[in-house]
C-alpha cells in the first residue's frame, strides 16, 4: 500500500496499492536502469577518468574495511558484465575470481525513443543497436580500474576471469599505482598494458 501526507492537513492519504508481482517488476526495471547507468559510466571513466575526478564524482579518498571492499566488488561487477565468485587477500594482494555474466548479442536490434527537442516539442525516433561482442579482457580491465577505489589499502589487484561455463579466459594483475593513475590522468592503452604485472588475456 502506498501512502502520502496532505501538505496542509498532514493527514495520511492512501494513494494506491501495488501487487507483489508489479512491485517486483518495478524493482527489476530500476535495477536494470542502474546497471545501464553504471555501464555507461564505466565506459566513460575508462577513457575520461581524470574528468570524472575533476567533477568530484568519486568524492574523497576513503580506506574501506575488508568487508566493505568485498561488498563493493560484488556490487560493481555486474556493471562490467561480470560476477564475483570469490575474493581472497594474500598479504598486500587482493585476488578476485570473476565470471562473465552476460552473453554476446549477435543480432542487430532497434530502440524506439520518445523524447523532446531543445524547445520542448515532442520528438520520436528510432535508434539502431548494432551487434555487440563482449570483450572479457576489456571488461576485466574496467573492473580492475573501478575496484581500485575500494582496494587502495593494498598494493596489487589480481583477477582471473572465467567464461560462462567456468573455463578460464585470462588473468591480469595490476599494481595499485597504475590503476589509480589511470583514473586521474589519460593513460594510453599501450602504456596500461605494459604496466600490468601479469596479463594472459588474448589480445582483441
Q: Please, which pLDDT band fits residue 180 given cuts at 50, 70 and 90?
A: confident
Question: Between 180 and 130, where is the model more confident?
Answer: 180
For residue 202, the 8-state DSSP code is P
Q: Write down the pTM of the prediction.
A: 0.60
Please give the pLDDT value at position 95: 97
Three-state DSSP class for residue 107: coil
Dihedrals phi, psi of 150, to nearest 5 degrees: -105, -15
Which pLDDT tens digit goes with each residue over 23-67? 888 887 877 777 666 666 655 554 455 555 555 555 456 788 999
Strands (DSSP E) contained in the chain are: 2-5, 12-16, 82-90, 93-100, 109-116, 122-129, 156-162, 168-175, 198-199
Percent of the chain, pLDDT > 70?
75
DSSP string covering 118-173: TTS-EEEEEEEE--B---HHHHHHHHHHHHTTT-TTSSEEEEEEE-TTS-EEEEEE
Kindly tell me if the per-residue pLDDT of 89 is higher than 90.
yes
What pLDDT shows up at residue 134? 67
- Mean pLDDT (whole number) for 145-166: 91
Give the CA-trace dihedral at 55, 57, 60, 62, to 10 degrees.
Answer: -160
* Average pLDDT, integer, range 164-174: 91
Cα gap 78→98, rounded to integer Å: 10
- Of 51-60, 150-159, 175-184, the range with the lowest mean pLDDT is 51-60
Pairing of β 122-129 and β 109-116 = antiparallel
- Partnered with residue 173 across adjacent β-strands are 158, 198
pLDDT band at 138 (very low <50, low <70, confident <90, very high): confident
pLDDT tier, 188 (very low <50, low <70, confident <90, very high otherwise): confident
Amino acid at each position: 500500500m502506498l501512502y502520502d501526507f496532505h501538505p496542509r492537513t498532514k493527514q495520511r492519504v492512501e494513494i494506491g496499492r501495488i501487487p507483489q508481482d508489479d512491485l517486483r517488476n518495478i524493482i527489476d526495471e530500476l535495477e536494470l536502469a542502474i546497471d545501464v547507468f553504471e555501464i555507461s559510466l564505466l565506459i566513460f571513466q575508462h577513457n575520461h577518468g581524470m574528468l570524472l575526478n575533476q567533477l568530484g564524482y568519486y568524492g574523497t579518498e576513503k580506506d574501506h574495511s575488508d568487508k566493505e571492499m568485498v561488498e563493493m566488488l560484488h556490487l560493481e561487477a555486474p556493471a562490467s558484465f561480470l560476477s564475483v565468485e570469490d575474493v581472497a587477500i594474500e598479504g598486500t594482494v587482493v585476488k578476485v575470481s570473476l565470471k562473465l555474466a552476460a552473453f554476446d548479442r549477435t543480432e542487430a536490434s532497434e530502440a524506439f525513443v520518445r523524447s523532446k527537442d531543445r524547445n520542448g516539442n515532442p520528438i520520436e525516433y528510432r535508434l539502431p543497436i548494432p551487434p555487440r561482442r563482449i570483450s572479457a579482457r576489456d571488461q576485466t580491465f574496467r573492473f580492475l580500474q573501478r575496484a581500485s577505489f575500494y582496494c587502495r589499502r593494498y598494493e596489487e589487484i589480481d583477477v582471473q576471469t572465467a567464461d560462462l561455463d567456468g573455463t578460464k579466459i585470462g588473468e591480469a594483475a595490476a599494481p595499485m599505482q597504475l590503476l589509480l593513475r589511470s583514473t586521474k590522468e589519460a593513460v594510453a592503452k599501450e602504456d596500461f598494458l605494459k604496466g600490468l604485472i601479469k596479463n594472459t588475456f588474448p589480445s582483441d
